[in-house]
Amino acid sequence: MEFKQSLARRIVIAFVLLTALVAGSFAVGIVNIVHLIEERLITTELGGDLNRLLRMDNMDEWRTRPQMDQIFYFDGGKGDFALPDDVKGLSPGFHEVFREGRAFHAIVDRVDGRQYVLMQDQSGYEEREQVLFAVVLCGFIASLALSAILGWLVARHVMAPVVRLAGQVLHRDQLQTPAPPLAKDYAQDEVGQLAAAFDDSFGRLRNVLIRERLFTSDVSHELRTPLMVMASSCELLLENPSLDARGKAQIVRMARACEEMRVLVQTFLMLARTEHDNVKLSPQVTLSALADDLAAQWREPIENKGLTFIYESYAAQGEFYNAPFLRAVMGNLLRNAWHYTEHGHIRLVVSASGFSVEDSGAGIPEGQREVIFQPFVRASDQRRGEGLGLGLSLVQRICENQNWHVMLTSSDAGGCLFRVELADERPAIS
């Protein structure tokens, strides 16, 4: 069963329910006991009075009358002693009789086939009962209020270390290497055991993050040298006058691929750094300038594939963005559109707040759009090619890092429409 209330509130509710059960049982018990005692006392009292009256009846004389608040009836009685219809059917024993809004206690006896009834006004008993019931009800309500207050105090005391531990766990510094252990601040109880478990988990996570950062940094660093060698070799080959146009075109493609790989390596290296100061020195570029550069770069391969490339720019020269990150996002979306579009067009539209990449390719089913940005996730459509499913994951990671927002919808041509909004509150040089 899933509870939506907080743990502290559940403790208070448990206190109140337990008190309601116990206090309610006592209240019901008190009421029943009062009724039982009242019935026995009145039965004894009225039974004694009735016996005295019956003894005088046997002597055929009435030397005393019933008490002022009592009424006596019997079979064959005359006048006020005549047996009324509302008590004729009563069986021997104690009864409660109601007349004209008033309640009476009645004791019934049958001697030699003759019925005798003695009734007594119970207004006084009713008033005392009402007072007793009011006291019981007030006590019940007061006990609930006190239990709620006590439960709140207990919950506050019990939950204080849990709340403090939750705050420490949520603190971002817990994954940093110099983060102090949590368990030393807590007693050796369940909360202390939980803190020790968090310390162990955080230690393992820190080790994993350190290994991941070192691997990414080392790989990115070591790839720079062969990429520089390849780029330099391409430059030297282009200076060879014996190359024909086809050879030069291939070398230009190699040089462009080297540059793309260099930017990708730099992007991975920057994503591996968590310190904000490390990315302040990254190159900056405006949205329109980068879009012009990528549009010129991708126009030829897109048109060589037989597609129509449409580039529309409505962005003015203004705010600067992280150049490697922005190039990786826009470049991956253009590459994704080029890779998965066989007929039709690819459109890049740049506005003041972001950009969009639209294609007329196979598209992505609506049920898969929420997971398509996860690593190694590809659409089930076989027309989507042989990619590994990492490009969109990289786009999502960069957008989350920079507080950008990427959205996927269907285009009018049946393909994909990716829209990237660059948040205004994002730091301009981050």
- Both 247 and 321 in a single domain? no
How many residues comprise the chain?
430
In a domain, 162, yes or no: no
Question: Last residue of some domain: 252, 270, 288?
Answer: 270
- Both 372 and 337 in a single domain? yes
- The CA-CA-CA angle for residues 286, 290, 293, to 5°, reads 145
Evaluate whether 426 touches 284 at the Cβ level (below 8 Å).
no
In a domain, 68, yes or no: yes
pLDDT recorded at residue 120: 80
> Mean pLDDT, 10 residues at a time, over the chain (430 residues)?
68 87 88 80 76 62 56 77 81 81 81 82 74 86 89 82 75 64 74 78 75 71 77 84 84 82 74 54 83 91 92 82 88 89 92 91 78 63 48 84 89 87 54
- Both 74 and 34 in a single domain? yes
pLDDT recorded at residue 263: 74
Which stretch of DSSP H or E encloses residue 251? helix 245-272
CATH of the domain at 236: 1.10.287.130
- Both 43 and 135 in a single domain? yes
**How many alpha carbons lie under 13 Å from residue 41 in its C-beta half-sphere?**
8
- Both 69 and 21 in a single domain? yes
Evaluate whether 182 touches 199 at the Cβ level (below 8 Å).
yes
| CB burial of residue 173 (10 Å; 0-12, 13-18, 19+) | exposed
Q: Could you identify the residue written with the tokens 């039982």?
A: 36
pLDDT recorded at residue 63: 46
Split into its structural domains, the chain has a count of: 3
Question: Last residue of some domain: 202, 235, 270?
Answer: 270
pLDDT recorded at residue 200: 78
pLDDT recorded at residue 388: 40
Put simply, whether the predicted model's pTM sits higher than 0.85 gets the answer no
CA distances for 348 relative to 291, 334, 364, 391, angstroms: 8, 8, 19, 18
Evaluate whether 323 touches 282 at the Cβ level (below 8 Å).
yes
Which amino acid would we find at residue 174?
A: Q
- The CA-CA-CA angle for residues 343, 347, 352, to 5°, reads 170
In a domain, 371, yes or no: yes
In a domain, 305, yes or no: yes
In a domain, 367, yes or no: yes
- Both 346 and 375 in a single domain? yes
**Domain span holding position 127:** 7-146
pLDDT recorded at residue 2: 53
Q: Which two tokens stand for residue 156?
A: 């506050």
